[in-house]
Amino acid sequence: MLVLLPPSEGKATRRRGAPVDLASLSFPELTAARTRVLEALTETSRRPDALAVLDVGASLAAEVEANTRLRRAPTLPAQDLYDGVLYDALDLASLPPGAKRRAGTRVLVASALWGVLRPGDRVPPYRLSMGVDLPGAGPLAAFWRSHLPAVLDEAAAGHLVVDCRSATYAASWRPAGGAVAVRVLRDQDGRRSVVSHMAKHTRGLVTRHLLQRPGRDPRTPAQLAAAVGEAFEVELDGDTLDVVVRG
């Protein structure tokens, strides 16, 4: 089983720490592609129109300016870097030791800057979204779509892929063997709707459950539905697993 997660917009920071070592990151075959995006982001962030190009508001100017120092900025593990709603619910730090080890091999985090990361990979905080058309690299979803399959299709071979990414990040790599997308629906008096904030939180809880439940990893969509159904109300619709939240 591989669980694909989106990054979070919010990121933790540290004042001290070693700078990023691209060769030490998981999937070192992506080093050249990562270098290209890193250099393009650094140069773009120096431009007077950087906020507009990166599609962020003035309140994030300091984060964009920090992009210009990514090569020497202190790093922290991806599992500590991302601190949004999904990662708060997942709470990797509080998992039992065995579940933490499983997270290290089963969880992949999509990234507009790094392509994909494992939880233990050390990188600096950055400001970049997969929806950006980055000068020097182009539309990032298309850029990574031309680099990730050669690496990740092999990593995913023989595994059930559980896709918790948003649509923007899912566009960067679609597993050759397919994936089961996790969708979260709110059911209120028989009327169902998708709620973004609740979806992130619930996907974090689903991932946590899959990492710490006893027994073998699910290998088929039906087994995944049964595994998630141990803790949630679920409905399997082809390659989509709906997690239903009442109220």
What is the structure's pLDDT at 127?
98
**Residue for token pair 């699910």:** 218
Quick: pLDDT tens for 139-198.
999 999 999 999 999 999 999 999 999 999 999 999 999 999 999 999 888 788 887 778
* 187 vs 225, more confident: 225
User: What is the C-alpha separation between 244 and 191, in angstroms, rounded?
Assistant: 11
User: What is the C-alpha separation between 210 and 224, in angstroms, rounded?
Assistant: 9
CB contact at 8 A, 119 and 4 = no
Confidence (pTM): 0.95
At position 44, the amino acid (one-letter code) is T
What is the structure's pLDDT at 192?
82
Chain center to CA of 95: 19
Neighbouring CB atoms inside 10 A of 87's CB total 27
Give the residue from 7, 6, 19, 5 showing the smallest Cα distance to 76.
19
Q: What angle do CA 56, 63, 144 make, to 5 degrees?
A: 65
What are the residue ranges spanned by the domains of the chain?
A: 2-246
Compute the mean pLDDT over every residue in the chain, rounded to the nearest whole number: 96
Question: Which stretches of 68-136 are assigned E, i.e. beta strand?
Answer: 76-77, 107-111, 115-117, 122-123, 133-134
At position 46, the amino acid (one-letter code) is R
User: What is the C-alpha separation between 84 and 125, in angstroms, rounded?
Assistant: 13
Quick: pLDDT tens for 193-213.
887 778 999 999 999 999 999
Three-state SS at 122: strand
Structure token digits, residue 88? 């708060």
Bridge partners (DSSP) of residue 9 are none
Give the pairing of strands 122-123 and 133-134: unpaired
Give the residue from 112, 89, 121, 126 showing the smallest Cα distance to 33.
112
User: What is the C-alpha separation between 184 and 195, in angstroms, rounded?
Assistant: 8
Quick: pLDDT tens for 185-194.
998 887 888 8
